[in-house]
A and B are shown apart, each in its own frame.
Chain A
Amino acid sequence: MKLVYEKSRPGRRASSLPRPEVPAAEVPEELRRASPPRLPEISEPELVRHFTALADRTFGVDTGFYPLGSCTMKHNPRVNERVVNLPGFRDLHPLQEEDASQGALELMWRLQEILAEIVGLPAVSLQPAAGSQGELTGLLLMRAYFADRGEGDQRREIVIPDTAHGTNPASVTMAGYKLVDVKTDPRGNVDVDDLRGKVGPQTAGLMLTNPSTLGLFDEGIEEITRIFHEAGALMYYDGANLNAICGISRPGDFGFDIVHFNLHKTFSQPHGGGGPGGGPIAVRERLEPYLPVPAVVREGEAFRLDYGRPKTIGKVRGFCGPFGVFVRSYAYIRSYGPALREMSEVAVLNANYLLARLKDTYEAPFDRLCMHEFVLSGRKLKREHGVTTLDVAKRLMDYGFHPPTIYFPLIVPEALMIEPTETEAKETLDAFADAMLTIAREAAGQPELLKEAPHVRPVKRLDEVRAAKQPVVRYRFEQHEDPQGAGEPRQLEAQKGA
């Protein structure tokens, strides 16, 4: 399919703009643009067709089942799109005076209260733009807290299990901390013996996802908490998997001091082809003074922005955070009310049902019930038929499903990480399980069907190695060379998803 730039014709345009009857003003010559940017020159009909064609070549939750583990690809209610587009939200300037933005301030305040109740921690900042920014914010809070106590130079280490998402170690480095890895035990829990040897006066904190990226609730969580609290360290909860435990268990009650939410996962902000997200954090009282400014506070019947936090770490993003994301997530939570518990229950039911249907054919590395997602290993298919997890993923496309997350978590060979979410119907789960079982049979009988998959998508497998070796990351107009030659589809057997 052509690029929008290749459809461009000199003299075409879609835009019409006001041309007020006022004298022109010039930019000083030395600052004036010499040659115009080569934006597309295209009419509105052509523009609409172009982006419709691109939409047609994209698969969303609206298109079909999207069990991308760790990403919580649930249905996105359309009423949320309606309310976020109310002019009072959509066209509100972030520096509007407080008396003229009471509705927005109240919505944020209410969302803070709700999030505090869901995780059992009293103080919330909505500012971080996504989970990974929530992580970095949380680690900067730890730095500020320990610096204030005179322990800043002493506590330099953050402990992270080997199942952790890549953002955790990346955030540790960006916060200027040193990473300490801890192992996973044979039941899929944090290896507490390994942990004991790694926590001490040098430890600033722990980062833990619970349920973990294996989809398992850590059965030793009470002991883990004891170890960290005795060492005087803080505990950070990566809330990517909160969809499993809303109304059932609260990280604040089991010892965590800082939690981030992924509003685009648990609370249904649509994922938008990669974003936007929202990564609010909730913290215990003793960390509240360090939270980003401004805070949204209530005074009597009125709401205002409070910048008066002398110990604040500062700001991690502009204004109060991604407000439109708050509107959608607030609407989502208000739809459920206390039945959020049922949301989590059904998420866990759906996952366990799929696990039950698949675990005899694919290998389940831990013989346990799962939470809202589970990890299988395609190791047997590889050993017996030379078919990889990548091949299974590509073949699923032919059956009309988005593949699960693959090759993550790193400790499971040939991993398939499957998260169905609560919004799917049983027929959908059955159709997916049937496809997975069929694919396992195909792997034995017609492995080339898998190796050459997908067969029905707009493109076949793409050469990822070539893309990285000779990067072409923008269109070059006259100098743009047509990509030539049938590429060997060299694909990376590396994490895809999460």
Chain B
Amino acid sequence: MTFLSLTEQDREQMLETIGVDSIDELFEQIPVGVRLGRALELEPALSEPELVAHLNELASRNIDTGREVSFLGAGIYDHYVPAVVDAVLARGEFLTAYTPYQPEMSQGVLQAIFEYQTAICELTGMDVSNASGYDGTTVAADACYLARQATGRSKVVLTESLNPQVRQVVKTYAPGFGLDVVEVPHRDGTTDPDELRAAAGEAACVIFQQPNFFGCLEPAPDLAAAANDAGALPVAHVDPVSLGVLEAPGVYGCALAIGEGQSAGNYQSYGGPHYGFLAARSEFIRRMPGRISGETVDSEGRRGFVLTLQTREQHIRREKATSNITTNQTLLALAGLVHLSWLGPQGLRELGETCLALSRYAKERLSEAGLELVFPEKATFKEFAVRVGRPAKDAISDARAAGIHPGYALGRDYAGLDDALLVAVTEKRTTAEIDSLVEVLAA
């Protein structure tokens, strides 16, 4: 099956207009020595029904969260995605447009980005947001680059309780940025502000996560203050759906707020595509990476929106740009905007309260059943760590045999936690499902 529109007759007429005899002649500019000279070795073409059957077969060999009760989180969550999100994303105008370079053609996308930026600023307490980054890991690298340019310092500090993949991405980018990376260990599941303050001397920024990778609530205002004391920019990596119940990073003194947007409006999709968000205080507006939509007027005084502050960007500034990002994640960010609009402030708070209440219920039931919480003294949001009294991977296979995925094996990233599971409880889980989890883990 191809998606071409030319008939044989069209082709002949077109070749005649061009003044060549064959399509091959069009390719004569390619030196003979570098032509392939054979057909690509690819499997034969599929018709549409055959293609659907083939992909159905592949999909059927995955156990999705509709086929297993899932307590897996660790950065990607099984939250509910409302039907209006699907409806909006199916609109061909949004789906098949590109970056709104020509604002008169793209007022809808530009306004949606402006509304998205506003939603992210409201959630995080910041003044400016970009139109999206790739995901929750790359925005952390973006924040480091911004901080390096803004402070002239060449070290960044990451907390050990920050998502391991986020840390790994920052470390991958760091040599190119000329940055050293220092990590501050956790103390019983959270970060000690004094230790952070000591490490933050001469640092460009400090990145911590709230709630952190273990699900624990960090003393975030104290961590931000510790960074500020050392002249390092405090950067909070936050979960958007927690921000109806947890304080906004802008309120407690952060310079930037970043995060993985998937919780708000995106399906799990085996890890992507999702969107990363990056928001900052206004003083950093001209150092932001990526697209930004701004308000202006047209020649008749009507409000309209354009891509703005473009002299930051690669297509104008080239090697002096604040980032190389071009294609971003606008469609996924649009899903985020629709989801957040569907929730509203009341829905967002209820969602947070439900996650809090259900995960507390799960913690209590597991404790009653004799399991030990890894960090029992620490407050959590929707995720927590629990010891299962044997290698976590064994607990996972037993639970899965009973149709439950009980969570993520923390020993994959942290020494000494081979018997610990990271359990995520979203608003989609029921008390009955939690009871079954307790039953299989206690067995």
Contacts and interface: CB of A to CB of B under 8 A. Distances in A.
A135 B319 CA distance: 13
Contact of A57 (B63, B84, B111, B308): B111
Interface stretch (B168-176, B196-204, B227-235, B368-376): B168-176
Contact of B431 (A22, A88, A120, A403): A22
Interface stretch (A281-289, A338-346, A439-447): A338-346
With most chain B CB atoms within 10 A of its CB, the pick from A22, A339, A494, A495 is A22
A440 B342 CA distance: 48
15 contacts: A18-B354, A33-B248, A47-B341, A50-B341, A51-B112, A88-B62, A89-B64, A174-B324, A315-B168, A318-B166, A322-B271, A323-B270, A334-B45, A467-B308, A486-B299
Contacts of B150: none
B272 A319 contact: yes
Interface in B324-343: 324-332, 334, 337-338, 340-343
A33 B122 contact: no
Given A133-B325, A143-B176, 5 more contacts: A104-B270, A245-B30, A473-B128, A487-B299, A494-B315
Interface string B220-244: 1100000000000000000000011
B66 interface: yes
B95 A130 contact: no
Contact of A20 (B43, B74, B100, B358): B358
Interface size class of B (residues with CB under 8 A): 35 or more
B36 A48 contact: no
Contact of B314 (A132, A246, A485): A132
A370 to B, nearest CB: 9
A335 B3 contact: yes
B108 A83 contact: no
B379 to A, nearest CB: 5
B383 to A, nearest CB: 13
Given A92-B268, A348-B23, A467-B294, A275 B176 contact: no
Interface in B243-300: 243-248, 251, 260, 267-273, 285, 291-300
Contact of B115 (A4, A74, A176, A250): A4
A176 B177 CA distance: 6
Nearest to A346: B4
Interface string A1-44: 10111000000111101111111111110111110111111101
Given A325-B272, A423-B3, A461-B298, A86 B84 contact: no
Contacts of B14: 349-350, 352-353, 426
A349 B25 CA distance: 10
A287 to B, nearest CB: 15
Interface string A117-149: 110100000000111110110011001000000
Contact of A247 (B40, B135, B246, B359): B40
Given A93-B76, A132-B324, A315 B30 contact: no
A221 B62 CA distance: 45
Contacts of B101: 68, 405, 496-497
A116 to B, nearest CB: 10
Contacts of A143: 175-176
B341 A39 contact: yes
Interface string B1-38: 11111110011011101111001011111110111100
Interface stretch (A194-202, A228-236, A380-388, A452-460): A452-460
B292 to A, nearest CB: 6
B138 A317 contact: yes
B72 to A, nearest CB: 5
B330 to A, nearest CB: 3
A236 B357 CA distance: 52
Contacts of B186: none
Contacts of B251: 34
Nearest to A30: B221
Given A95-B76, A402-B102, A472 B294 contact: yes
Given A33-B243, A143-B175, A222-B33, A275 B295 contact: no
B126 to A, nearest CB: 9
Given A90-B64, A136-B176, A341-B39, A471 B285 contact: yes
Contacts of A153: none
A179 B219 CA distance: 44
A59 B105 contact: yes
A44 B246 contact: no
B121 interface: yes
Contact of B118 (A89, A325, A475, A498): A475
B103 interface: yes
Query: Which 8 pairs show the lowest CB-CB distances between chains A and B?
Result: A272-B331, A88-B59, A319-B271, A62-B92, A94-B271, A314-B172, A337-B45, A274-B330
Contact of B379 (A27, A171, A482): A27
B91 interface: yes
A394 B102 CA distance: 8
A38 B340 CA distance: 10
Interface in A94-128: 94-97, 100-104, 106-107, 114, 117-118, 120
Interface of A is mostly: loop
B345 interface: yes
A89 B55 CA distance: 9
A482 B417 CA distance: 56
A170 B400 contact: no
A422 B323 contact: no
Contact of A17 (B23, B354, B379): B354
B415 to A, nearest CB: 16
B90 interface: yes
A253 interface: yes
B143 interface: no
Contact of A356 (B18, B91, B321): B18
Given A117-B41, A461-B298, A487-B297, A276 B329 contact: yes
Contacts of A73: 96, 98
Interface in A284-308: 292
A60 interface: yes
A192 interface: no
B328 to A, nearest CB: 4
Contacts of A117: 40-42
B42 A273 contact: no
A474 B118 contact: yes
Contacts of B72: 93, 95-96
A438 interface: no
A348 to B, nearest CB: 5
A33 B246 contact: yes
Contacts of A154: none
Nearest to B168: A315
Nearest to B361: A22
A86 to B, nearest CB: 4
B316 interface: yes
A311 interface: no
A228 B83 CA distance: 54
Contact of B356 (A27, A55, A457, A485): A27
A425 interface: yes
Interface in B105-148: 105-109, 111-115, 117-119, 121-123, 127-129, 131-132, 134-138, 145
B17 A338 contact: no
A51 B296 contact: no
B326 A217 contact: no
